[in-house]
Each structure stands twice: as structure tokens, then as C-alpha cells.
Chains A and B, each alone.
Chain A
Amino acid sequence: MPLDLATVEQVAELAKLGLTDDEKARFTEQLSAILDYAARLQTLDTSAIPATAMVGGLENVMRPDEARPSLSQADVLANAPRSHAGQFQVPAILD
């Protein structure tokens, strides 16, 4: 198995994903099976092959750096679970 429980816990922390013990055990097994399957990529010699990140062919698409209308503060905050004084509210970050 390419993945052990400790790695799953570490990846979940990187992804800021809370997982139950049951989920951790299941993902250890399922992700290992998927990664075993993906291991067939290692049989290809790609040392001279460039990477493809995008397929559309466009590069460095720019627009004029000009101010233009945006959403209102009220619209932006309309979906916020918690807001205060025109801002998003979060739990204290600094003690």
C-alpha cells in the first residue's frame, strides 16, 4: 500500500479537511488502490517530454489596467455566514 494512516492524516491537515477515524481508514485503503493504479505512469520514459498544463494555446492574456464597476459591498456580503461592520467575521486569529 503506497499510503499509510499517518500520511493520510498529514494530507488531510494540508487540505484543512477534518476527517473521522472511519473516513481516514477508508481513504487509506481507497487512495492506495487508486495510486497503485496510477503507478503504471512510472513505466513511461518521459525524461524528454515537456509538461502540458493548459491546452487552449493562449498565453499571458491581459486587459487594460483600468478601474471598472464591481459588486457592491452589500452583494459581496449577502452570502456571508457571519459579517460585522461591512466585513467578513471570523474567529480570532491572534491571541
Chain B
Amino acid sequence: MPAGGRLLLPGLWLLGGLSCLLAAAGGDRRQVTLQYIPGSNSSSASLLHVRAVGRNDTLHYVWSGIGAPTVLLVYTRSESSALHVNWTKLLSASPAGAIWIEPPGSVVYSTAVVFTKVFEYNGTNASGLSKGQEEPFYPSYDLAGFSWQIVNQTALMAKFQGMNTVDPGGTSHNGTISFQVTAYEEGGRDSPLPRLLHTANSSKVEFIMDSVAPRGNKSRFLLEVVTVEEKGGHKRLQSVRSIDDEYTPTIFEMAQLVSKPRNDSVGPSFFQWKTTAYGSRDASRENAIRCRYYPLQTANRTLPGPSIAHAYFGEGLGRSHSIAAINISFSGEDGEVYAEKGYLSWSALLGFGTPPKDAFSPLVMAIVAVALGTPVVLLLAGALVVLFARRKRRSQYEPIN
């Protein structure tokens, strides 16, 4: 009988799970403000600035739809660091240096994540892409060519909605692609699936495709994500397999891009996601869409412009920074979940520090403890009773001899 050929990791998961329960709780409260910065009069361009002030430090997340949707993550060792924007320069042909943090000396670490393109391909065979077979790709959606508007802003949440301006009457008419940003003041867990565990040092981005008409019977979508890391640093792709699927039922894998560990208190930056997307507004297990990712491409990548990453990191972006790209595909392995409702949502968490890791819930631990404990207690109690009964019986009858 084929044993599957895989002797999997011997499980020290129980220990690991317990220890990371403490780690995940880390990251104390932060004062979070979500600020909408409108651009100059005529243009619809705008920025969303999430400023999370903690003790002795400030995190800046700068979201923008100028060019490709981008988020800048900046860690500063100052409670009063501030974002400055030179709008005329930002909207000009050479935006280098249009965005900066004041005072510049407080910046400890910065990184950026850019969502560049959405590909659509005909996935007759779900695993075809991984086997390296040629898949018929349709013309891709270049997200830099979309016009992005902020809709639906609340205290800690905002949604960038993109309309295809390149091809207004085209296939994606009425359909929207949006990125919903959620900032967190403290650690916790969202209630809708995939219920990612977050810290105060992180925020969530949800990639949503709504009513984008598929161009084929078996259309599958693929999102390209590019990360920018400072010179010397580079992102690594990790797959964290966990036995714990309590919060995201039947999903046992977390994928994450983690930068080189740092010696200071910040820790690395991370971008993590559970390997699932959902095909309905109210996500549930039966409308889950399998999410795959492909190896990280680091060689000879350039960041197509424009984007605020160019504005922040400056001219030498290609030379002085390491750029990595990853493709994430959403392919219902069996069936066309997207085609049913024309909806797809995929969540990822980005932030600083060690990436959060799920731990056993107290309920699980309580059930295990009670379930395993009771038979043992009963065995001991029973043994005592039997022993006692025997002694009593023996004492009643005197031996004859």
C-alpha cells in the first residue's frame, strides 16, 4: 500500500502551540488614526494614511491608488513622526522624493507592498499552472491603469475601489476590484472568515473582485504582488503548516513573506495569508476557493511605475532595493465557485514583528483536559474503592488457620 511517501514533521506542535499563545498576545495597544489625504484640486488621486502611535514609536501605513495600489510600511522611533507629501511632484512624471517622513532620522525601517496586476487564465486543469504547462492567458488587468477611489471609510477601515479606465466599455464593466484596508488598535481576531489573528502592529488588506465578468468558462484569477525591501534585506517565502484549523476550518496552511530578522525591537516585516479565498460576501467553508501561491521571483525584477513606492524610495529603487514578486492564484480546484456569484475575497495581514501564529483555543484545551483527565481520575478512584472493599472483606473473616 503506498504510504503517500511522506513522513511528515514529527509533531512538537503541542509545545509550539502553547508557547506561541504567549507570543501572539504580544504587541500592546496603539493609538490609531486613519487619515484621508485628498490630492490637489482637479485630480481624484488621494492617499490614506494610517498612523499607529505606540510607546516610543510610530507605525505609518500609507495606502494609495496613484499608479498601482501600494502600501508603504514605515517604522519610526518617534511618537511624533509625520508624513509629508509634495502633491505637485507626486503627480508629475518623476515623483521621486515626493513622500517623506519628518524627521527623517527617526525612520528605522521601511518596506512596501504593491499589487500590480490581475491575470485571468483558462484553468481547464487546476494544477496545470504548477506543472508548468502553458495556460491560455487572457489580457491581464493592469491595476495601475485603474482609477482608485476611497469609498466606505469608517474609523478604522477604508475601501479603495478601482474602475477600469483603460477599457471602460470592456469586459470588466460594472465589475470592480477593490482593496479593503483595516487597521487594528490591539491584538485580536476578526469574526468573519478567515479569522486571521492580528496584533496591534499589523493591519489587514482584503482583495475583493466583485462582478468582474469572467472571459471564459473556466476562468481563474491570479494576483501579482510585488514587495520592495531595503538594500541588504530580502523577503523569504515561508509556509507554516499548523494542526490548528479551528479558526479557519479545513485550512491548515499559512503562507507568509517575512523579511530578514532584525536585531532591534521592531522585528521583521511580514505579509501573511491563509491559503484560502471565499466566493461569497458571507464567507463560509462551502464557498471557499483554493488559493495557491507560486515561488517567489527575485531575479531581475523591476517595479513597474508609477506608484508611491517610487515616490518614497526615490530614483534608485531598482538598484538599491531588492524587489520580489509572488503570484497568488485563486482556483476553485473543483467547480467554478467564482462563476456562481461573481465574487471573490482574499485577506492578507501585513505588519511588523514576528508573524502571528494560531494557538489552541481555551475551549479545545479544556475539552482535552477534562476528557483525558476523567478516565484517569476514575481509574485511581476505582482502584482505591476496590482496595478498600477488599480490605474490609478480609477483616470480616478471620483466617481459619
Q: Do A and B come from one complex?
A: no
B-to-A contact residues, CB < 8 Å: none
